[in-house]
Amino acid sequence: MKRVSFLLPALFFASTIFGQTPPEWMDVATRERNFPNSAFITGLSTGSMRAGETKTDAAARLRKEAQAYVAEAIRVQVSSETQSRDTRTKTQTTGKEASEHINSIFEAAVKTSATIELTGVKTDSYNDDSEGLIYGFAYVNKYELMGYYNASMTMTMQQLESTLNTAKQLETGGEKAKARSQYEEAVPLLVKIEQAQDVLVALDPNASPQRDKTANYRSDIIQALARLAQGVYVYVESTEDMFGQKVDIVANKVKAELAVNGCSFVEKAEKADFQLRIRVTTRTSDKTDNMIFCYADVAFELFDNHKQKEVYKDEISLKGGSNSLDKAGRNAMSDVAVKISEKLDQWIK
């Protein structure tokens, strides 16, 4: 079972009372009356000084223990909900590669957001000299904590919906790589909302913090990522010299040809399934009274990011002609780009 930790605030209300009248929370009946379970979560710890410890140090340690008891009061339910959702995520995806990719995204988001902040925790401590014991007490108002998480959930929900709308627009427009990136950015937002919902329900079992809405968003994200994972993402890096002029003729043409076969293109190599590196130069050949001919010489290699190895490389030279050197060079480069695409077709799948 996954464990969800709780980040307790560095600054909290604390007082250490030595040799004074016991505070009201030391009395069970008074504590239950002043901090009823319906409105508070409380934690009480007891201990004595350890070797080399001062009373102040011991009191601080026991206050922290009391805080931990407050956190533990809702930790198990939050952890259980997180594990249940992870299981559902795995069963909703099909295809080994797509499933592994989607699961890794959600697991990373859960791991990153695993620390849940319990704001507003207050602590106190009391030293009982007669018994040689020190008591630590911590409490948090459920309604204050619920207010914090409701506000956080509302703000994050707005960010999530905006991100999903952008992702859908990009996918509709055929920009698959950018769409996938947006869907991936939506995952940690969704996880943050779901964990806020878990805390709210743990504090109040009758709470209904839009669980149906986030369940639908989770399903939408999983389906979109699975759908987009079926495309092939290519990073293209080219160096093209046409008689001293830097151009992108071959790269643009190759992208257009590969796009017809369902490929999409990314701006970062680490986001790609394949990396294609192209180097092109041109040289003059011969000419007639009305025509000029030249060659486009290309060397290219294809690197598979998943296999982490070069899977194909080749060199091609094609001749092109026109009534000017510039047009002849462009024709040769355009023709060689088509040839590259044909040779890559069997590898980029």
Considering only 77-91, 113-127, 184-198, 329-343, which range has the smallest mean pLDDT?
77-91
Closest-CA residue to 108 (of 212, 6, 184, 209): 184
Which CATH number is 245's domain given? 3.30.160.150
Indicate whether 179 belongs to any domain: no
Number of domains present in the structure of the chain? 1
Indicate whether 300 belongs to any domain: yes
Integer-rounded Cα radius of gyration of the chain? 32
User: Locate tokens 């149906």: which residue?
Assistant: 212
How many Å apart are CA 148 and CA 270, to the nearest integer? Answer: 38
Question: Which pTM value belongs to this model?
Answer: 0.62
The residue segments making up the domain with residue 237 are 232-344
Indicate whether 269 belongs to any domain: yes
- The dihedral formed by the CA atoms of 5, 10, 15 and 17, expressed in degrees to the nearest 10: 60
Indicate whether 221 belongs to any domain: no
Closest-CA residue to 136 (of 16, 20, 12, 8): 16
Indicate whether 167 belongs to any domain: no
Indicate whether 305 belongs to any domain: yes
Indicate whether 267 belongs to any domain: yes
Sorting pLDDT into bands at 50, 70 and 90, what band is 73? Answer: confident
Between 250 and 117, whose confidence is greater?
A: 250
Considering only 30-44, 199-213, 291-305, 334-348, which range has the smallest mean pLDDT?
199-213
Indicate whether 192 belongs to any domain: no
